[in-house]
Amino acid sequence: MKCFPSSADEFLSGQILLINKPLGWSSFDVVKKIKNLIRTKYKLKKIKVGHSGTLDPLATGLLIICTGKFTKRISEIQEQKKTYTGIISLGGTTPSYDLETVVNNNYKTKHITEKLIRNTTKKFLGEINQTPPIFSALKKDGERLYKKARRGEKVELKSRKVTIHQFNIISCMKLNVHFEIKCSKGTYIRSIANDFGVELNSGGYLSKLCRTDIGNYNITKSIDINTFKELLNK
């Protein structure tokens, strides 16, 4: 977003907006808010607005919003590599693989060392098979999986291939592993957190996540929703 759009025609002809998604918002919440702000500002009956890659409500970071004719570019942007930073907490597991649900199992961690943690990342590099978490927006039988999960339904999920280009450990603070991961489309970082705990025989869940990059788009160029509203109404 080299300069902020200043007319309805610019939004309708197509814009790429880099938004820093706040904690607690779904990606759809952001799309809905942006769409309503543009429609209200320019008194539009309709305008196409979409995002190019879901972030969970408990995740923050870069969300690319496409408007107007640029919504046709969403699939192209989705194919690009993504980079995340976050924290994997060891010693327990949760059904959702993050903090959406409470810890349901605890494990011993005395055997965990920083060397073991760093060596374990090597098992996740390259093309791997990954099973998505049941608490996800994927659909089965026409319904979002997280709805089935919240009802306690058991669903058999198939693994799929994803690619982990980089898995760097930034620091290890007791049982909190700070990491950076660069990966392909369709990768669930929550599943990596859970699988990482399995490999360490200590349990693990995602306690923090931020998306910093999508292809050449970086979070440093993004704006929050309040700033978008202010620029829109100038």
- As annotated, the active-site residues are 56
Distance of CA 118 to the CA centre of its chain: 23
Give the whole-angstrom CA distance, residue 169 versus residue 153: 35
Residue with tokens 């699988």: 195
Radius of gyration of the chain (CA): 19
Residue 8 in tokens: 């309805």
Instruction: Judge whether 135 and 149 are in contact, CB under 8 Å.
Output: yes
Q: Return the H-helix or E-strand segment holding 87.
A: strand 82-90
Residue 119 in tokens: 């060596």
Residue 144 in tokens: 């979002």
Give the whole-angstrom CA distance, residue 4 versus residue 197: 44
Residue 73 in tokens: 């570019």
